[in-house]
Amino acid sequence: MKKENTISRRNFIRNTGKAGLATVLTVPALVSMAAEESLFSMAGDNNDIGWTQQPLGYDYKAIEPAIDAQTMEIHYTKHAGTYAKNLAEAVKAEQVNTSSMRIEQLLQNISKYSAKMRNNAGGHYNHELFWKMLKAPSEGNKASGKLADLITRDFGSMEAFKNKFSEEAEKRFGSGWAWLVYTNDKKLVVTSTPNQDNPLMSVAEVKGIPVLGLDVWEHAYYLKYQNKRPEYISAWWNAVNWDYVQKRFATM
């Protein structure tokens, strides 16, 4: 009888220990899953980027003098068009059901897919967003309302934000993007990503919802600015479509 009680106690301790270990191992995973779900919900509210390339919505010359017409045409038809074409091929090859999955969801799980999917899903999404964030240039172009208030809260001032963003865009080595990002803890941060990555991706160093993005690949500016990236960035500020950016941000 005593021996049976000893065995029972051992079994209880062993089983309890396993359950406790399972709890310890599971909690961080649950926290991570909850954070990702919250982020996905935020991204899902901004569901205006689809799987196919959409019409530009304005003339190629509409963004001059910030971005010249020839650059816009080549950028949209050749570079962005190729990303859209290659994304369609990757979607078919990897059997992605685009009728039940948003592109944001794929990006947030991009590590499960091929390099072709990562490069082209990112390239397509980033460019579709970029076109919407441009308009005819105007002096004194800046954010207002809630977005402006949060920029001041998190960066100190609009000028400080623009300086930080411009610096991040200038120092991005090689090809990539600069971003204003709304994180899962409701803060605005500035970051950059290489190539066609973006902050939605599971592989991103800083994760969040893209609020504002700038393409700093050379094909975005080289015909007009050559190697003078800072001049391109400075001109781009006057062409930011803050109306669209603020409308998008209001849904986050």
Q: What is the chain's mean pLDDT, rounded?
A: 87
pLDDT at residue 17 tops 50: no
145-162: buried (b, 16+ CB within 10 Å) or exposed (e) per residue? eebeebbeebbeeeeebb
Give a yes or no: residue 71 inside a domain.
Answer: yes
| pTM of the predicted model as reported, rounded to 2 decimal places | 0.83
- With bands split at pLDDT 50, 70 and 90, how would you rate the model's confidence at 94? very high
Give a yes or no: residue 111 inside a domain.
Answer: yes
Task: State how far the alpha carbon of 222 is from the alpha carbons of 163, 185, 205, 226, 232, in Å.
Answer: 22, 37, 28, 4, 9
CATH number for position 87: 3.55.40.20
- Residue pLDDT, tens place only, 140-177: 788 989 999 999 999 999 999 999 999 999 999 999 99
What is the reported pLDDT for 39? 52
Structure tokens at 212: 């504002």
Q: Which domain holds residue 169?
A: 60-249
Domain count, the chain: 1
Between the CA atoms of 207, 125, 118 and 182, what dihedral angle is there, to the nearest 10 degrees? 0
Letter for the amino acid at 248? R
What is the reported pLDDT for 138? 87
Give a yes or no: residue 178 inside a domain.
Answer: yes
What is the reported pLDDT for 47? 63
Give a yes or no: residue 1 inside a domain.
Answer: no
Give a yes or no: residue 96 inside a domain.
Answer: yes
Give a yes or no: residue 240 inside a domain.
Answer: yes
Give a yes or no: residue 180 inside a domain.
Answer: yes
What percent of the chain stands above pLDDT 70?
A: 81
pLDDT at residue 36 tops 60: no
CB 195 within 8 A of CB 175: yes
Give a yes or no: residue 6 inside a domain.
Answer: no
**3-state secondary structure (DSSP) of residue 211:** strand
